[in-house]
Amino acid sequence: MAPENKQIIQQVEFYFSDANIVRDEYLKKVIQANEGWVPLSVINSFSKIKTFSKTIDQLEEILKESEKLKVVEGKIQRVTPPPSFDEHKGDEKTLIIKNFPSEYTLEDVQNVLSPFSARIARIAMRKDALKEFKGSVFVEMNEKDDMEILLDAKILVDMPVDEENSSNSPAKKAKIQLEVSTAEEYFAKKKEAKKEEKEKKKQEVQKVVIDSFKNKIFKFTAERAEQKEADEKTEVSKEVSEEEISAIKISDIKAALGQGVAFVDVPSRHIRMKQDTEEISPVEINTLKLSFNKLSDEEVVAYCDGLSLTKGRTLYKPRRKQRG
């Protein structure tokens, strides 16, 4: 068999392999729409096959040599039924291999892993946003048991030589061992690292916001205001009930304190000022007198522990709806 024909067969067999067919959304749709068959015109339109510049008839004759594919009147399908698209568990038998030189091509990677090629279903190079090779690949094995062979293997690759800095005298090329781990382990570590980074950023933002709250948060207490002479005949309890405090309108507090108020939390009896404030004079609202005590730095931190961080560096505290 001509080397070119062998390359064509291997490439098309890969398109129909278990590892690729479950991931190739376009090919899946074509297969499902044609009862398992794919027109050769579709295969011939794929970029890697187009490079061979074959006609449909030539492609059909070449692919008839494949033991894994069946070709009939301009269409092709697998000899064996494809795996269930819904039940494929390729991730469970996938490894990630790191430390390849960034200059490597897919062919270079395949050459390094050639001793294990019979056990490998698919190799996917990982690339960055600029489509540059990141030095690592995902390798899906034919069977889950095959993973142990690669996990236990010691695979060395030559490091690229800097020709400008290399001496004229012959020297041994430096080698580096490939790092092999399961994809499941890799994604679990990546997920945990992402979670930790997110929590770290959240804490950093919280610290900035909490620091900005210091010297601005006050807790108020309520007591009965002194009765006017006309009301002295009506005896009123000096104790202030929770219902009375809850009935205080946020708008009344803001009106009494002026434009400097940023936030009012009636249920927990806290207010936050827009600017650093040393003290707030007592105010009377209806029959109540509100007095304000500034929180210490430690008390501000404790109070903010009960707050939730939202977008835009905003902290809010759930509370029942207030009138006004």
pLDDT at 311 over 70: no
DSSP string, 117-170: GGGEEEEEEEE-TT--EEEEEEEEESSGGGHHHHHH---EEEPPP-TTT--SS-
Q: Are residues 98 and 184 in the same domain?
A: yes
Crossing angle of the two packed helices 183-213 and 297-304, in degrees rounded to 10? 140
* Residue 256, domain extent: 217-226+240-307
Q: Are residues 99 and 186 part of one domain?
A: yes
63 and 106 in a single domain? The answer is: no
pLDDT class of 274 with cuts at 50, 70, 90: very high
Query: Total structural domains in the chain?
Result: 3
Same domain membership, residue 7 and residue 98: no
CATH number assigned to the domain comprising residue 102: 3.30.70.330
Could you read off the pLDDT of 20-40 as tens digits, one per residue? 887 888 998 898 888 889 999
Task: Classify residue 200: in a domain, yes or no.
Answer: no
- Is residue 85's pLDDT more than 70? no
Give the chain's mean pLDDT.
85
- Is 233 part of any domain? no
Structural domain contains residue 324:
no
28 DSSP β-pair partners = none
In a domain, 209, yes or no: no
Whether 283 is in a domain gets the answer yes
Same domain for 72 and 98: no
The per-residue pLDDT for 163 is 59
Lowest mean per-residue pLDDT among 64-68, 186-190, 308-312: 308-312
Residues 139 and 184 placed together within one structural domain of the fold:
yes
**157-202 tens-digit pLDDT:** 988 766 555 555 555 578 899 999 999 999 899 899 999 998 888 8
Same domain assignment for residues 94 and 184: yes
Same domain? 128 vs 177: yes
One domain, residues 60 and 152: no
44 and 134 together in one domain: no
Nearest-CA neighbor of 311 among 177, 216, 235, 209?
Answer: 209
| 126 inside domain | yes
Residues 138 and 74 in one domain: no
